[in-house]
Structure 1
Amino acid sequence: MSADAGRRVLITGAASGLGAALVSAFAGRGDRVLATDVAFESGFETLAGARSSTTETRLDITSDDDWAAALAWVEREWGGLDVLVNNAGVAGGGRLDVATMDEWEWITRINLFGVVRGTRTFVPMFKDQRSGHIVNVASLAGLVHPAGMASYNAVKAAVVALSETTGHELAAYDVRCSVVCPSYFRTNLIDGLKGADTALGAVIGQLVENSPFSADDIAAAVLEGMDRGEDVIIPDVAARGAWHLKQNDRAAYDAVMRKQAARLDKMG
């Protein structure tokens, strides 16, 4: 068990996929976990006096009222928070002339502003405590930008930038911020893929299905990265390889990305 066992942890998007794996990973260390998701039916009003190690409740990350309820519950039941994991998100994307503005607005509202809302909600508490750790789940798409995924790349890159800024702003208060950037791993996130670019959906679905990495693998690597104090957690070898290529051989990286773009165009 980690020396940090017993932390108070709030995780969004916790009903399935990486969120559920993170709940298990933190709870396995002896941490208390508030697992939240828009898919859960019961809200905070049903949780008065909850004392189990893992508590589930509904939280819509696009709702200011839901975030206010989460803060009030944490203050009342725990008296503070040690780790906020902004994990909830959706899959999307599409080529520039295929994806609609509604798709851009949808993915931005959830994948970026959901993280912003969670961060803004708990920053005052973390500053008052002079402790805490914010963990934002982005994607390798926040660092490496494949064709056909402009909206997803843009919002995940924004989460990377937000996380770096958060870490700088809160360092004086002994509050950390880490951003997680995994490549494709086996998860049900693809089930909710939304968008007019069906060719892209087929490509991503195949990449997810064929990935050697599970959500549990990524969750374990996230906690290990937190233990090491990493600001940018790149939790799998595929992601690390792609990021290394971009940093060290930009011409080769561009060639790979443009080849992928050409292949996508041939699919229609």
Structure 2
Amino acid sequence: MSRVLVTGAASGLGAALVARFVADGHQVLSTDVGPDGSAPYLKLDVRNQADWDAAVAWCENTWGGLDILVNNAGIATGGRIDVETLDEWDRVVDINLMGVVRGCRAFVPLFKRQRSGYIVNTASAAGLVHPPMMSSYNTVKAGVVALSETLSHELHPCGVNVSVVCPSFFRTNLADSIRGADSAMGATARQLIEKSPRSADDIAAVVVAGINKKRHLIIPDQPARVAYWTKRLARPVYDWQMRKVAARAHARAERATQPETQPETPSPDGR
């Protein structure tokens, strides 16, 4: 039985992971930014270092340590480079990338003292393949992938394993976090999330199976795997597909920003 801490655990993939870990007999500390009825639960804003310090103290005082840290909290964002604002960039970097960095920094000293531990970072297929109109999201998720690979080597002598999770779109309330200047791209992302045939429970089951096998790169669904291997093995096809996506997205965005044509009012003499 492992002791597990999950961030962003109140909904979506975080809640599904908590349910899966509990069903498998593990002890789980759920954390999120707001109040929650589950127990045990701890308020943890991944932007707040004091919250991370409190989480480490809770694990040491209550459990005597931690076995698995799941850095799962995150938001959805995106937009064209000339439309999405720098404030939006700052927000997603602070939550999706620096939130993971803070979590790793907070718990690695404990894992080193234990000579054991497991870090699981939720990234995205967008960390491996980089669709157009998603610069900020692609950038932070690629950063999480790079951080995870770095730590997998850096912490191996300390007995610490690292996995990174890279799913494509699946049904969750993540779309509720989309806000920003590029409303056309936000609407497209929401549609992709809400119309996916995959649920958070589907993704969580594959993720936990990958953790049990200590896989470093966990790609839990077929569309993400196809995109990843197409980029690696058939780059011209990948580039053609991405540019086709970009052309369609530009066309949709232009239609969305053009004013509607109003019918002309005929003059009194019919002309």
Q: TM-score range by the shorter chain?
A: over 0.9
Q: Which residue type is aligned with residue 123 of structure 2?
A: A
Which deviates the most, 171-180 or 222-231?
222-231
The answer for the alignment partner of 1:34 in structure 2 is 29
C-alpha distance in 1, partners of 2:194/2:244? 21
C-alpha distance in 1, partners of 2:36/2:2? 25
C-alpha distance in 2, partners of 1:265/1:101? 21
- The partner residue of 1:65 within 50, 53, 56 is 50
The answer for the alignment partner of 1:154 in structure 2 is 139
CA shift digits 1:236-257 (9 cap, x unpaired): 0111011111111100100110
Please show how residues 113-132 of structure 1 align to structure 2 within 5 Å: 113-132=98-117
Structure 1 residue 195, shift from structure 2 partner: 1.5
CA shift digits 1:168-201 (9 cap, x unpaired): 1110011100000000000000011122111111
Please tell me whether Structure 1 or Structure 2 has the larger radius of gyration of its CA atoms: 2
Kindly tell me the number of residue pairs found equivalent between the two proteins.
253
RMSD of aligned residue pairs (Cα, Å): 1.2
Percent identical? 59
Unaligned 5+ residue runs, structure 2?
A: 254-271
Unaligned 5+ residue runs, structure 1?
A: 1-5, 43-51
C-alpha distance in 2, partners of 1:204/1:237? 19
The answer for the alignment partner of 1:216 in structure 2 is 201
C-alpha distance in 2, partners of 1:168/1:151? 26
Q: Does 2:136 align with 1:141?
A: no
The answer for the alignment partner of 1:233 in structure 2 is 218
C-alpha distance in 1, partners of 2:214/2:44? 28
Q: Does 2:13 align with 1:13?
A: no
Q: Calculate the TM-score normalised by the size of structure 2.
A: 0.91
Q: Which residue type is aligned with residue 16 of structure 2?
A: A
The answer for the alignment partner of 2:267 in structure 1 is none
- The partner residue of 1:265 within 244, 250, 255 is 250
C-alpha distance in 2, partners of 1:259/1:114? 33
Q: Calculate the TM-score normalised by the size of structure 1.
A: 0.92
